Structure 1
Amino acid sequence: MANRPVHFIWLLDCSYSMLGEKIGQLNYAIREAVPEMRAVADDNPAAQLLLRTLTFSTTAQWHHKDPVPVDDFVWQDVQVDGTTNLGEALHVVAAELRTPPMPQRALKPVLALVSDGVPTDDWKAGLKAIDETPWGRKAVRMAIAIGTDADRSVLQEFLGNPELQPLDANSPKQLAAAIRWASTAAVKAASQPVAGSATTKVTQPPYAPPVLDDDDDDVW
């Protein structure tokens, strides 16, 4: 069977509240997760894993605009700037989930949202735009809440499935674990052929963040 693409899109909160350790640990965690994503892709030869990154702060912009095969993907650190325009980011992604530019024979795309705060624009309109695209409804969605200030209700609505929960990342150790788990679990789920209707649910395998202990230098 010919390779079918799996489009994996990171949506990363790069607002000023991510300044300092949070953005540094996010860059580190994704960079370290890429080799594990390659390993998962190697285990699913019928799927071609393509990565890209969208950042959102005062504006939403592509950090890696063109889909890059995972074997060729090189992480480039993101930087912080401004507010939290999640709605704009979701609109930008929605435009990529139409056919075209998405090929008809693609596998389920992956949307992985990471945020530590509260959206500062109309995020509901952006989410509606994604939900109105066939590929948006089929997408495997992951969400990571960084720290206690993250709006988990927004992330829960983004997931669009009451059986799924945002992943908690309240320390550098938990963020690294959440990024690694979301990357690999999502790729495994997306690499299976689309079956059933556009509303087919994705079941999230069990996940538990590492327990905070006295060795954790920072708790967010």
Structure 2
Amino acid sequence: MRNVAHSNPHARVLMRALKFSSGATWHVTQPIPVEQFQWPDLEAGGVTDMGRALLMVAEELKIPPMDPRGLPPVLVLISDGHPTDDVSKGISAIMEQPWGKKAVRIAIGIGHDADHNVLRRFINHPEIQPLQANNAEQLVHYIKWASTAVLQSSSSPAVTDTSTHNGSGLHIPVPAPTNTMPIDSDVW
């Protein structure tokens, strides 16, 4: 991510993370420049309060705190897609914000039983489908893709042909599939 950010010195890339299970809290509380970002470990567990998490994201997409000028934010949702609260309210709150509508929204489904219908509703674009991670290796692969290829697209100058682009006019490249077979104990 740092290399991608450095390749476009006119784009300031900030990172945040929100965790949700039984409740939702900011895992990385303040926007941090990508050059200083270090991922704090996170443990999964509890229920899936995705609606609450999306409401919290929507609050941060308001102007302010968002700058009215800038590049579209990239929102990456990683979940089993089985919310235990009102996810429709959270998705609506994001889409009510100008930056929510313009955001590049990517979703990674965790596990063979991930509900892709909920993840598609978050993405809200017919040409962008949720990714599927059935083990830790696939999850790492897709997170790396989302944090480099998608970041590169969103921080590059706008393109003129919008026929194969998302709502913000950006081309989202399709990630390469993972071809390695997981060890049985690593399958979710």
Deviations 1:27-53 (A, max 9, x none): xxxxxxxxxx11111111110110011
Change (3 A) 1:60 1:44: same
For residue 211 of structure 1, what is the aligned residue in structure 2?
179
In 2: Cα distance, 1:172 partner to 1:118 partner: 19
In 1: Cα distance, 2:185 partner to 2:48 partner: 27
In 2: Cα distance, 1:94 partner to 1:82 partner: 23
For residue 122 of structure 1, what is the aligned residue in structure 2?
86
Runs of 4+ deviating beyond 4 Å: 193-196, 214-217
Give the match's secondary structure for 1:91. helix
Change (3 A) 1:100 1:195: farther
Q: How far is 1:174 from its partner?
A: 1.2
Does 1:77 find its partner at 2:45? no
- Say if 1:49 and 1:70, in contact at 8 Å, map to a contact too: yes
Q: How far is 1:190 from its partner?
A: 1.6
Runs of 5+ unmatched residues, structure 2: 161-165
- Say if 1:116 and 1:151, in contact at 8 Å, map to a contact too: yes
Change (3 A) 1:106 1:185: same
Give the match's secondary structure for 1:47. coil
For residue 163 of structure 2, what is the aligned residue in structure 1?
none
Letter in 1 for 2:186: D
For residue 65 of structure 1, what is the aligned residue in structure 2?
29
- Say if 2:73 and 2:102, in contact at 8 Å, map to a contact too: yes
Greater relative contact order, per chain length (Cα 8 Å cut-off, separation 6+): 1
For residue 164 of structure 1, what is the aligned residue in structure 2?
128
Change (3 A) 1:59 1:217: closer
Change (3 A) 1:200 1:117: closer
In 2: Cα distance, 1:133 partner to 1:194 partner: 21
Deviations 1:101-150 (A, max 9, x none): 10112211110100124000000110000001000000011111111121
Change (3 A) 1:44 1:153: same
In 2: Cα distance, 1:214 partner to 1:57 partner: 26
For residue 75 of structure 2, what is the aligned residue in structure 1?
111
Change (3 A) 1:133 1:116: same
Give the match's secondary structure for 1:141. strand
For residue 60 of structure 2, what is the aligned residue in structure 1?
96
In 1: Cα distance, 2:73 partner to 2:88 partner: 20
Q: How far is 1:76 from its partner?
A: 0.8
Does 1:177 find its partner at 2:177? no
In 2: Cα distance, 1:204 partner to 1:148 partner: 24
In 1: Cα distance, 2:96 partner to 2:156 partner: 22
Change (3 A) 1:60 1:195: farther
- Say if 1:163 and 1:203, in contact at 8 Å, map to a contact too: no
Give the match's secondary structure for 1:176. helix
Paired residue total: 184
Letter in 1 for 2:174: P
| Percent identity (aligned) | 50
